Amino acid sequence: MKRHAALRATTARRGTKIDAADRLKLAEALLAADDLAACAQRALDWLGRAIGVTRAVCLAGGADSVTVLRPIATLGVRGGRVDSFVLDLEARNDPLVGATVGLGASVFGRNGRAAPSTPLGSGRLIAVPLQGRHTLEEYPVGLLLIASTDADIEADARWVAGLLGPRLTALRAAQRREANERRILRERTLLYNIINAVTDPILLTDTEGRITVANARAEALLSAGEDESEGRRRAIALNNMLFSSALTRRAIEGAEPWRHELLLVDPVDGSDLLFELLSTVTVDPREGTGIVSILRNVTDLRRATQEIEENYRKLRLAEADARAERDRLDLIIDSVADPILVTDSNANIVMMNAPAERLFTADLEAGAEARRTVQANDAHFSSFVSNLFFEPGAMRRSGSIGLVDPRTGALLPVEAISGKIVSEHGEVTAIVTILHDRTQELERDRLYEQLKRASSELEQKVREATAELTRQNELLRRSHFEIEQASAAKSQFLANMSHEFRTPLNAILGYTSMLLKGVTGELTPHQRRNLERVDSNAHHLLAIINDILDISRIEAGKMPLTVTKFDLKDLVAEVLAEVEPIISRSRLAVTSQLTPDMPPLKTDRQKVKQIVINFLTNAIKFTPQGSVEVRTEYVDTRDLIAIAVADTGIGVSAEDRDRIFEDFRQADNSPTREYTGAGLGLAICRRLAGMLDGTITLDSEVGRGSTFTLFLPRAVKRA
Amino acid sequence: MSPRRFTASKDAKPVGARSPLILIVDDFADNREMYTQFLEFSGFRVAEAQNGHEALDKAFALTPDLIVMDLSLPGLDGWEATRRLKADDRTRAIPIIALTGHALAGHSKGAMDAGCDAFITKPCLPERLMEEIKSMLKG
């Protein structure tokens, strides 16, 4: 058996058993196949048909990898074992790899050489590497595995491999070239898409300035189709000129990457477009030197820059305004005498005016005491403000805080008013507090209290004094009442007395009068003279009684005032007529000198008359010889009248002048006095004048005469 | 009161057949009789009464031509007597002269209110009273 096999192999090597036509057919079939698998399959099919191979596998590297071989064609085997078989050429220890990279065919399962694990099973195995004609490539293209017990087919296998190897190598090369081309095309397309997608114009120009590559945006600016409008073409021509001149300058200025501003025209709407031109020289050994230019549209950027600059300028101005405003505000706030503080939401002081600084800051020079005071002030203030923070509804809070002046250590009673500053969203952003020093106010209150106390003490004293006064008044009123009662009793007594006097006096006067009239017969001269003495004394007694009655009536307020309008001239004439009997007896020259422009009087006629009669009778009584004159005057500036009776009588001495107006007084009050009369006349006159708001004056010289004058308001004021 | 002049009364005698009848009412006999003496001396007829009741009786009985009434009378006083005389048809027309020793103003007003036709304060000399009577009778 073994011998036969060796023979067959020799025969095969020689190739005698297969005719040339068959061999030619295989060569044609392999050349006709245009992919690796088909080509390999034809080779395997030929092996089975021509030399009776039953099982074989052809392994080959794929287009993706040359070091990993997979089955691409099989003969007589099928299934998962074949499909999953992989031969990694990097695994150098694998006997199959050794067979693959070797030059000749390897035979396994012979001479104790174990057959490696293959899809063909564990029998005798021939492995023939498949190689190209020129072994330029690092790895062979594949491996042909044939399961065979016949040693003769080894030569035929090598012959097939000699045909199949180059053919597969060529196919694989073509396949790889094709894949490469596809990849390049894809990359190129991608690149173009990317470049076109860039909104900035991108151009590649040659050294002459001709455009080699331009993206869509660059074409829109720099290349015009045949059907473009005239204006658009002119704009594009202008753009080309501008771009070329920029590049020319760029070429002059050197090879470094270069930036330049380039102003182009938008061909569509004619507006100016400002670009930043970035160009870089590229040197390619095949393509030659070129310039890549990227134009970045900075029109909007420039506009934006200008706007930013403008905004910045405005901002600066606004900032300056704000600063000035704040300075002014600071000045105002600082000039407020009351401390003002602004607190943030954590009750930290964020702002304060100068008066507040005096209370809440202490520099290093200040003593420890001052610093402690400041801390205490701060604590008091913070607790006050915090309370407002924790009152959700309240917007304001006011209250008193006891602070201390750090410089003087003096207590400062302070009224604090805090208000929340609320943002649009209702959050408290800050609290403003104004502190008002209440020292003066409290001092004022204290003084006011003192004043009030003093005032109430005073009031109390006044009340006491008033009570005392009331008591005294009451006593006075009582004593006055008693006096009045006494006075009234006296008046009543006098009135009664006068009545009691009058009744008998009436009889005396009546009978005397009748006797003197001769009602009871004629009288002797002696009887008549005595009777006349009785009559005269009775009349005198009556005069005294009347005077006393007058005084008591005046004092009892029972002398009524009867005001009438009358002429003083008539009154004087009437008085002179009434006193005529006395005048004629006295043998004095009694005259009157009346002012002609005397207006009518409006007063109590009877009382004026009584005073004038009294003056006149007194004058006659106290004037032994000479004259008596009645004079009247009118003082129109004061609406006063004066009635004077002047005599050339005995006169009144200076010391007697007041006494003669007293009750029952004559200058000579002695019992042996020369002149009769009760001495009540002037006392009555004084009282009557008082009732008429008038006065009586006396001008007199002893031995030369007296002048009694009555001054009266022309019209009495009383009702 | 001022001293008064005495005037002669030659024309005191009344004219005609019957002289007027004067009723003098006064409780003080000296004064009443003094006036009676003087008025009769002067030609008047005179009747006397010494209190108010007597005055009313005499007035109703005699219907005098004039009554001189002292106001301060015991019992029925002069004011009341005057009021009654003036309230009676028989005596209403008789003039009454009030006489009083009280010189206070209230007396004169009270007398007028009671119905007196004239008022004279004592002391009043007889011829002064006669003048008043004559003027009353004339009016």
pLDDT in tens, A197-230: 888 888 888 877 788 888 888 888 888 777 778 8
* Helices and strands (H, E) in chain B, number of each type: 5, 5
State residue B90's pLDDT score. Answer: 92
Residues A546, B103: C-beta atoms closer than 8 Å = yes
- A115 and A39, same structural domain? yes
Nearest to B5 among A499, A503, A581 (CB): A581
Higher pLDDT, B67 or A426: B67
Q: Which two tokens stand for residue A592?
A: 């009157």
Domain harbouring A688, CATH code: 3.30.565.10
d(CA A539, CA B122): 12
Structural domain total, chain A: 5
Q: Which two tokens stand for residue A579?
A: 């006193």
d(CA A144, CA A36): 13
d(CA A360, CA A31): 106
The per-residue pLDDT for range A159-175, each reduced to its tens digit, is 888 888 888 888 888 88
Ordered by start, the domain boundaries in chain B are 19-138
Give strand pairing partners of A68: A88
Distances (CA, A) of A159 to A72, A106, A131, A387: 19, 14, 12, 108
Supply the DSSP string of A131-153, one letter for each residue.
--SSTTSSS-SEEEEEE-S-TTH
- A654 and A523, same structural domain? no
Residues B125, A507: C-beta atoms closer than 8 Å = no
Residues of B in contact with A507 (CB under 8 A): 28, 30-31, 34
Looking at the predicted structure, is the pLDDT value of residue A240 above 50? yes
State residue B39's pLDDT score. Answer: 93
The domain of A256 spans 199-297
Q: Does B9 touch chain A (CB under 8 A)?
A: yes
Looking at the predicted structure, is the pLDDT value of residue A571 above 50? yes
Are β-strands A202-206 and A68-75 bridged in parallel, bridged antiparallel, or unpaired?
unpaired
Asked if A602 and A619 touch (Cβ cutoff 8 Å), the reply is no
Domain harbouring A280, CATH code: 3.30.450.20
State residue A112's pLDDT score. Answer: 64
How distant is the Cα of B127 from the closest Cα of chain A, in angstroms?
A: 9
d(CA B36, CA A511): 11
Domain harbouring A60, CATH code: 3.30.450.40
Architecture of domain B19-138: 3-Layer(aba) Sandwich (3.40)
How distant is the Cα of B46 from the closest Cα of chain A, in angstroms?
A: 16
- A151 and A105, same structural domain? yes
Nearest-Cα residue of chain A relative to residue B99: A503
Cβ atoms within 10 Å of A632's Cβ, excluding its own: 20
Residues A503, B103: C-beta atoms closer than 8 Å = no
Interface residues of A toward B, Cβ cutoff 8 Å, are: 495, 498-500, 502-507, 509-511, 513-514, 516-517, 519, 539, 542-543, 546, 549, 553, 558, 560, 578, 581, 613
**Strand order across the A55-61 sheet:** A87-88, A68-75, A55-61, A142-147, A125-130, A106-108
- A702 and A623, same structural domain? yes
How distant is the Cα of B19 from the closest Cα of chain A, in angstroms?
A: 19
Query: A559, A575, A607 — which closes off a domain?
Result: A559
Nearest to A513 among B6, B31, B105 (CB): B6
Looking at the predicted structure, is the pLDDT value of residue A669 above 80? no
Mind spelling out the 3-state secondary structure of A363-376?
CCCCCHHHHHHHHH
Higher pLDDT, A426 or A5: A426
State residue A20's pLDDT score. Answer: 80
The per-residue pLDDT for range A331-341, each reduced to its tens digit, is 887 778 888 88
Residues B34, A510: C-beta atoms closer than 8 Å = yes
Residues A516, B123: C-beta atoms closer than 8 Å = no
Domain harbouring A471, CATH code: 1.10.287.130
- A445 and A552, same structural domain? yes
Looking at the predicted structure, is the pLDDT value of residue B23 above 70? yes
d(CA B4, CA B124): 10
Query: A428, A451, A475 — which closes off a domain?
Result: A428
State residue A11's pLDDT score. Answer: 41
Residues of B in contact with A531 (CB under 8 A): none
d(CA A585, CA A604): 30
Looking at the predicted structure, is the pLDDT value of residue A233 above 60? yes
Q: Which two tokens stand for residue A172?
A: 């694989």
Q: Does B104 touch chain A (CB under 8 A)?
A: yes
Looking at the predicted structure, is the pLDDT value of residue A286 above 70? yes
Domain harbouring A408, CATH code: 3.30.450
CA angle (B129 as vertex; B123, B134 as ends), nearest 5: 165
Looking at the predicted structure, is the pLDDT value of residue A9 above 50? no
Residues B126, A510: C-beta atoms closer than 8 Å = yes
Cβ atoms within 10 Å of B44's Cβ, excluding its own: 24
Asked if A598 and A569 touch (Cβ cutoff 8 Å), the reply is yes
- A368 and A506, same structural domain? no
Which of A84, A19, A81, A87 lies closest to A55 in space, CA to CA?
A81
Looking at the predicted structure, is the pLDDT value of residue A137 above 70? no
The per-residue pLDDT for range A474-488, each reduced to its tens digit, is 888 888 888 877 777
Give the residue carrying structure tokens 């899809």.
A119
State residue B7's pLDDT score. Answer: 41
d(CA A648, CA A629): 9
- A132 and A246, same structural domain? no
d(CA B46, CA A672): 47
Residues of B in contact with A514 (CB under 8 A): 34, 37-38, 41, 126
Domain membership of residue A719 (yes or no) is no
Interface pTM, i.e. ipTM: 0.80
The residues near A603 (Cβ < 8 Å, ≥ 6 apart) are: A563, A692, A712, A713, A714, A715, A716
Nearest-Cα residue of chain B relative to residue A491: B104
Nearest to B122 among A503, A539, A578 (CB): A503
Q: Which two tokens stand for residue B24?
A: 């003098």
Looking at the predicted structure, is the pLDDT value of residue A674 above 70? no
Backbone angles phi, psi at A603, to 5 degrees: -160, -165
Q: Give the rounded percent of residues in chain B with a pLDDT score beyond 70.
A: 83
What pLDDT band is residue A330 in, cutting at 50, 70 and 90?
confident
- A100 and A31, same structural domain? yes
What pLDDT band is residue B14 in, cutting at 50, 70 and 90?
very low
Q: Give the rounded percent of residues in chain A with a pLDDT score beyond 90.
A: 14
Residues A499, B102: C-beta atoms closer than 8 Å = yes
* Arithmetic mean of pLDDT, B75-89: 91
d(CA A251, CA A143): 60
Q: Which two tokens stand for residue A343?
A: 């607190």
What pLDDT band is residue A667 in, cutting at 50, 70 and 90?
low
What pLDDT band is residue A272 in, cutting at 50, 70 and 90?
confident
